[in-house]
Structure 1
């Protein structure tokens, strides 16, 4: 089968289409013919040599796919060949075929294309995990979502609106902020022009119950400044580098704040299965009604996937990049 190969540590130009053996179907798994796959920042980090796959998982890039079931293991009863599905893989998504745990896929909403479904799972499940499972946000609360025009940011803003949570966000341009507002943000802050903590203290003096941050760096104490007592700051990434500013312990103690980091790729299979089931029950039908949408930026032919990586590394995106076979 064809797959997208890469030379570790090389730039986007090192991505090439090659040939490899089909993955082996194991008990509890299904084989999916991949129609489209999501392109995520984790893929660029793995290509650079900074984010290896969990032990025993495929070295092929790609964490989410959409396509058609073509084979099921004897132990699988929930799926059959011909089903349109999408879901998470721990690796192997940039390939014509992938084997995936039966509990890690969902049925494609009838109104969505394979390309849209390929851009759904990673960002929405990541945002849902942070807001619902970790943060426990509730209707009537407030949240600050940094990097609002990113894939996860846009998913988080929509989920906030869907859950009845008022959201503020940060982004680098007015174009991005306008899009964030369309997706549910009620307070939009250009971080290149204004300090978000100053804006939020003026607009919401009482603060927010939840902060989702992919930036880190000097945002740490500012996040604590706008946090309500007993609130939580969840970290997903470190776009400003691996070291944050000096933690103000007095501020953290006064707020009784929680600071938690999370990832999704290296979670256990059982954790992912439970997360997918909860997301399916709470949110999947909303894609049929249009209450939730997949924020697409560009769909790339597989031969052009290097351009997707290049643009991701330049932060040149509003929504998801997807590759298509």
Structure 2
């Protein structure tokens, strides 16, 4: 394993709070376990869990770094003795267990993926958290398949954008919601068959007008007061997959509707899942999704980068994320050039 003695720049916060609590600090490089790799980071993605962790609402798992950041692109500079699939010098994008807002980060070798041909490092950094989340939750847990109809809430964000793109490529009819007409138009540009403003009082009626029998799957990032709307929008034997709680963690649920429609309601978060579970998602992505980048479908899968910020402008990146004004992904430029 290559030796590195540098200290690395990273983003820290001493107490939970607003974007202003984020500051720059320096620390020793993280140590690399036998099945891990050390990545010199070029770009790091900014995601909802980062915001929640900064606010003190989403503590990292006990064995994870307290530094924010769950996805990166960069170059492998050290490998553990049990890592066989990667070598020093390989350029990858990776799901990381925290620590992405740093010049160097450690992750598991089995959570790294090659950068698809033609993508920039900024685009590649925006893939792992969203693609692992969508594939693992919507397709693997939710069982979404060709010929079905899916309702995707928050379709204009990073997760929603990836969900729309993947669903369409796998032969699914997509109904998306977002918070403005501009964002609904953006969802349609991504490929959504229908897009509605979730602020509309007749949202349910609009959904059922285009899916009279109900939708087969709902990808729910809202929860709260939208739970019963989701149950009403689902078809018989439908599946509700909850992955975030943007409208609150509690709801008064119409359980009889859930029973009468024989609905399956499941939910998960990605970060606390085991190394093995995330490795399986990575394997499935490499086998089933990554080949699509080379089959003339790359333009449909490339994430839209709405904004880039330097590492020292991280507070501005978080303010933009919290404003909800972005469409697509926000990334931090940590080092290097914007090219693969």
Q: Which TM-score tier does this pair reach, normalised by the shorter chain? A: over 0.9
Distance 2:202 2:293 in 1: 35
Contact 2:314/2:332, CA 8 A, preserved across alignment: yes
Residue of structure 2 in register with 1:95 after alignment? 102
Deviation at 1:43, TM superposition (A): 0.7
Asked whether 1:279 is paired with 2:285, we answer yes
Secondary structure of the 1:27 match is coil
Distance 2:227 2:146 in 1: 25
Kindly report the root-mean-square deviation, in angstroms, between the aligned alpha carbons of the 2 structures: 1.1
Unaligned regions of 5+ residues in structure 1, if any?
A: none
Asked whether 1:262 is paired with 2:268, we answer yes
Q: 2:307 aligns with which of 294, 298, 305?
A: 298
CA offsets per residue over residues 55-95 of structure 1, 9 Å max, x none? 12111111111100111112211111111101111111111
Residue of structure 2 in register with 1:321 after alignment? 330
Correspondence 1:3-82 to 2 at 5 A = 3-82=10-89
Deviation at 1:187, TM superposition (A): 1.1
Contact 2:177/2:197, CA 8 A, preserved across alignment: yes
Number of aligned positions between the proteins: 324
Contact 2:117/2:293, CA 8 A, preserved across alignment: no
Distance 2:246 2:98 in 1: 22
CA offsets per residue over residues 230-262 of structure 1, 9 Å max, x none? 111111111111212x21122111110011111
Distance 1:226 1:126 in 2: 23
Deviation at 1:295, TM superposition (A): 2.1
| TM-score, structure 1 normalization | 0.97
Distance 2:209 2:139 in 1: 27
Contact 1:7/1:47, CA 8 A, preserved across alignment: no
Residue of structure 1 in register with 2:258 after alignment? 252
Deviation at 1:194, TM superposition (A): 4.3
Distance 2:326 2:135 in 1: 21
Distance 2:316 2:18 in 1: 11
Contact 1:160/1:184, CA 8 A, preserved across alignment: no
Distance 2:200 2:61 in 1: 40
Secondary structure of the 1:241 match is coil
Q: 1:86 aligns with which of 85, 88, 93?
A: 93
Secondary structure of the 2:38 match is strand
Deviation at 1:7, TM superposition (A): 2.7
Contact 1:210/1:233, CA 8 A, preserved across alignment: yes
Deviation at 1:284, TM superposition (A): 1.1
Distance 1:138 1:39 in 2: 29
Secondary structure of the 2:301 match is coil
Contact 1:35/1:324, CA 8 A, preserved across alignment: yes
Q: 1:225 aligns with which of 232, 236, 240?
A: 232
Q: 2:161 aligns with which of 128, 140, 154?
A: 154
Secondary structure of the 2:219 match is strand
Distance 1:219 1:193 in 2: 12
CA offsets per residue over residues 22-50 of structure 1, 9 Å max, x none? 00011011111001101111111111111
Distance 1:10 1:49 in 2: 7
